[in-house]
Structure 1
Amino acid sequence: MGQAPRKLQPSLSERHFFGAELRRLREQANLSQARLGSMIQFSADLVRRVETADRFPSREFVEACDKALATGGALLRLLPLLERKREVERKSSASDPSIDRMRVLGLSLAPSVGAVEQADMVRLVPFQPGVLDRAALDWLNADFGPRLSAPERVDSTAGVSEDDLVSAEAALAMFRQLDHTHGAGRVHAQVQRYVEGELNRLLANTPASELIGRRLYTLAAGFFELCGYQAVDSGAHGLAQRRYLRALRLTQAADDRLYGSYLLAVNIGHLALHCGHPEPALRMALTAVKGSENQATPAVRAALHAVVARAHARLGREGDCMAHLDIAETQLGRSRSEDEPDWVRYFTSAYLADEIAHCFHDLGRPEQTQRHLGDALSALSPSHVRRLAIDTALLASSLAAAGRIDEACAVARKAVDQAAMTASHRCLQRIVDVQMDLEPYRCEAEVREFGEYVRHQLPLAAV
């Protein structure tokens, strides 16, 4: 009997992430480890050890795998991140042999009780809509962003190079993918360690050129955007607000007005909506539209107007909502992916369908909600488990609003299964919302059975 493949945890380390990607691509190509090894002229055992995160791959190995699997360089782009991690581990092992022994034994450091208590305290920091207007006004009136004062340099001779940025950009891409798949609960600690270590080291040193300096600030803004998004996903809304505002200031330092407009509307505006403040959300989104009108690409315009529409829908202004959705659809139809910034290329027709569905849900129109959710769900990548869980739960709520209780419970079970695969506070909240939407039908057998299913599968969301 063949040995079952070792179960990887992609969020555990860069090596696990690479191994999981290699295994996924190999299996997608319907190749055995032995067959791939033969094609790339490496041993099947080496393929196995790389896939199970027991070995760092060489550049030659990665290049050969990319060619054999026709990935378009997807694996090679992860190599700088792996090489940096290998160097860090080498230095750590040299300075503290116990770390290497722990790794060999498969052990890891668990968060301390103090860290857990601190995380609980962070969730108590409130969202403060009152500070947003000043931040938006400062952003709107800033011709050029102030150069942020750097902390005292830890190594005045070290500079920030192109290779440093490529490695950090690969790390950000990896963290974003892990966050989409697993939720913030399993990834945020790694992101925070990277920000406190490697990102702060880069910010403390001198860029090799002005262009690299701007890229560095934009990259740092991307990390703080991700930190803010993860804070939302963990239920720490006040912390999310602080992280997003830090990212906004970094875009000013980078003189990246386009990315700033996106942060102001899509991140900060959505956060305000999530916290029940549609009027500040509307002001943020409209400020972003005004402040970027001469620079915005079609996809960015679509994303900004979608948030304006969401805010109008929450305020019950159907006519205004529909007008801005029309603009968003028209603009997205003009977009070409290759002409868009990397950070907005995710905003496809599927994501716009998601925004439209939320608008119709807030306007109390379940049939239109269901139609657009069908478009969104059919086009979503299976790896975006959190988004699948959230949209599937919203579909169940919409079915409940339409009185289709049997269907609502069946769909809601799928949402529970998806949410159980993540560590996401937002997913839990969506499952709670579904149960509240089904509460008027609590005497129905299907609803009672669904409640039992939640208690068994996802007890944290049980009501």
Structure 2
Amino acid sequence: MGQIPRTLQPSLSERHFFGAELRRLRERANFSQARLGAMIRFSADLVRRVETADRFPSREFVEACDKALTTGGALSRLLPLVEGSRANEGMRAASPSGPTNTGTLLAALAEEAQGVADMVVRVPFQPGVVDRAAQDWLKASAGPHLSVAGRLGSPDQVDEEDLHSAETALEMFRQLDHTHGAGRVHAQVQRYVEGELNRLLANTPTSEAVGRHLYALAAGFFELCGYQAVDTGAHGLAQRRYLRALRLTEAADDRLYGSYLLAVNIGHLALHCGHPEPARRMVLTAVKGSETRTMPAVAAALHAVVARTHARLGREGECLTHLDIAEKQLARSKPEDEPPWIRYFDAAYLADEIAHCFHDLGRPQHTQRHLGDALSALSPTHVRRLAIDTALLASSLAVAGRIDEACATARQAVDYAARTTSHRCLQRIVEVQADLEPYRCEPEVREFGEYVRHRLPLAAVQPE
């Protein structure tokens, strides 16, 4: 009786993704592991171990698999991802154990940011640019803006199978980003975009439907690149990545996804950079431009961001009005009917948005109640979100004068943040320390400051 193949989780790591792709291509060719091993002159056991992510593949192994399975180099194009993962694991293995690991890695990333990437990091967010882009998007005519027939000279064609592989890669990168923060995975995402994604975009889709699917998928990659730029503090770069994604949704004739990018991604970025009024204008443009195509969960997400802009501007009445709209829209939503990219937006995620609204409005009790709802439903793998929301809870407790609880909660936030390489997490820990500053003479606050200096030194605020 044959063994049941081990279930793979492609989104767990680059190595798991490669193993799942190897198995998919092998089964497509109707080869057993033993037959493939014989054809490539490697053992069947090695094929099995690579497929189940127990071994890193060598370049010779990958190139032989490409030739035997006639993949057109699909596996070789994934090799840089696997090699990057191998290098990361080697660096972690060589580092001393204990709480200083994350600080060392973050320091290395900070040093890198001072080098080649320093100019990019310093480019600011420009509200006027996105204002113009929002108006251009609103006025854009319907229909795809990139010609499918314009690249007929390409020897390759892009089909749904190519897009399936790219979709799996995007899901893997998103999961890794949620767990580790952008510092862990942004270089791999960039390599994939510059290699495999650009190859797909340069070739001819087999049909107009495949072309639209390709452009929407490419928009998803540039959305992730933008989100990762925010997470590394490169706000100007994030703006450019989001605007590239917005243009790709026009090419895909996906008005709904475009409204989401404009409101949720670019709107949140504007808020993050301290521009609530431009953020409000962009979100209202997105609402107007998607009125005829909107779905309940998308409408809920858009109105939640409108509420966030009003909260930041101190307009409590308008904020509560849009939160009410968001709650009613979400109650109407059926996840199976929603676009896949919005299905994450559930009651817990809306609770997170509501909590941020009440924090900006100076209502700590309401903030704490809604953060409780958000945190209780978060997956343990969403470490960055756990860090950010736990830090916000600590800040809210500090504002309410509950210092013992604030410091204990802030320690949990530091522990989460120390497991990521995220500029946003570091920023939130700094903000918690600022909220505790009025109580700096309390022993609990002094001890918390020492804990940050030991556990997450890059986020430590030096005492005056």
What's the TM-score bracket when you normalise by the shorter of the two chains? 0.7 to 0.9
CA-CA distance at 1:118 after TM superposition: 1.8
- The aligned residue for residue 229 of structure 2 is 231
- The aligned residue for residue 54 of structure 2 is 52
Q: How does 1:9-24 map to 2 (within 5 A)?
A: 14-16=14-16
CA-CA distance at 1:157 after TM superposition: 1.3
Cα-to-partner distance string for 1:81-113 (whole Å, 9 max, x where unaligned): x997644478999xxxxx9xx99x9699x99x9
Structure 1 residues 46 and 164: CA distance shift in structure 2, 3 A: closer
1: CA distance, partners of 2:257 / 2:81:
37
Q: How does 1:286-325 map to 2 (within 5 A)?
A: 286-325=284-323
Cα-to-partner distance string for 1:232-266 (whole Å, 9 max, x where unaligned): 00000000000001100110111100000000000
- The aligned residue for residue 346 of structure 1 is 344
Contact 2:156 2:203 in 1 (8 A): yes
Structure 1 residues 257 and 11: CA distance shift in structure 2, 3 A: closer
Higher relative contact order (CA 8 A, sep 6+): 2
Letter in 2 for 1:448: R
TM-score by length of 2: 0.79
Q: Which of the residues 264, 283, 286 maps onto 1:285? A: 283
Contact 2:393 2:409 in 1 (8 A): yes
- The aligned residue for residue 436 of structure 1 is 434
Letter in 2 for 1:133: D
Correspondence 1:460 to 2:458: yes
1: CA distance, partners of 2:141 / 2:245:
17
Correspondence 1:397 to 2:406: no
CA-CA distance at 1:312 after TM superposition: 0.3
Unaligned runs of 5+ in 2: 1-9, 21-43, 59-68, 93-107
CA-CA distance at 1:52 after TM superposition: 2.7
Q: For 1:123, what is the secondary structure of its paired residue?
A: helix
- The aligned residue for residue 174 of structure 2 is 176
1: CA distance, partners of 2:362 / 2:343:
30
- The aligned residue for residue 358 of structure 2 is 360
Q: Which of the residues 170, 192, 195 maps onto 1:194? A: 192
Letter in 2 for 1:434: V
2: CA distance, partners of 1:197 / 1:452:
45
- The aligned residue for residue 421 of structure 1 is 419
Q: For 1:333, what is the secondary structure of its paired residue?
A: helix
1: CA distance, partners of 2:77 / 2:17:
17
Letter in 1 for 2:356: H
1: CA distance, partners of 2:19 / 2:382:
19
Structure 1 residues 92 and 374: CA distance shift in structure 2, 3 A: closer
- The aligned residue for residue 163 of structure 2 is 165
Cα-to-partner distance string for 1:155-181 (whole Å, 9 max, x where unaligned): 711111111100111110110011000
RMSD: 3.3
CA-CA distance at 1:120 after TM superposition: 1.9
Cα-to-partner distance string for 1:203-228 (whole Å, 9 max, x where unaligned): 11110000000000000100000000
- The aligned residue for residue 267 of structure 2 is 269
Unaligned runs of 5+ in 1: 1-9, 21-41, 57-79, 94-98
TM-score by length of 1: 0.79
- The aligned residue for residue 325 of structure 2 is 327
Q: For 2:52, what is the secondary structure of its paired residue?
A: helix
2: CA distance, partners of 1:195 / 1:46:
28
Aligned residues: 399
Structure 1 residues 119 and 11: CA distance shift in structure 2, 3 A: farther
Contact 2:18 2:51 in 1 (8 A): no
Structure 1 residues 13 and 92: CA distance shift in structure 2, 3 A: closer
2: CA distance, partners of 1:159 / 1:360:
51
CA-CA distance at 1:397 after TM superposition: 0.1
CA-CA distance at 1:140 after TM superposition: 0.6
Q: For 1:144, what is the secondary structure of its paired residue?
A: coil
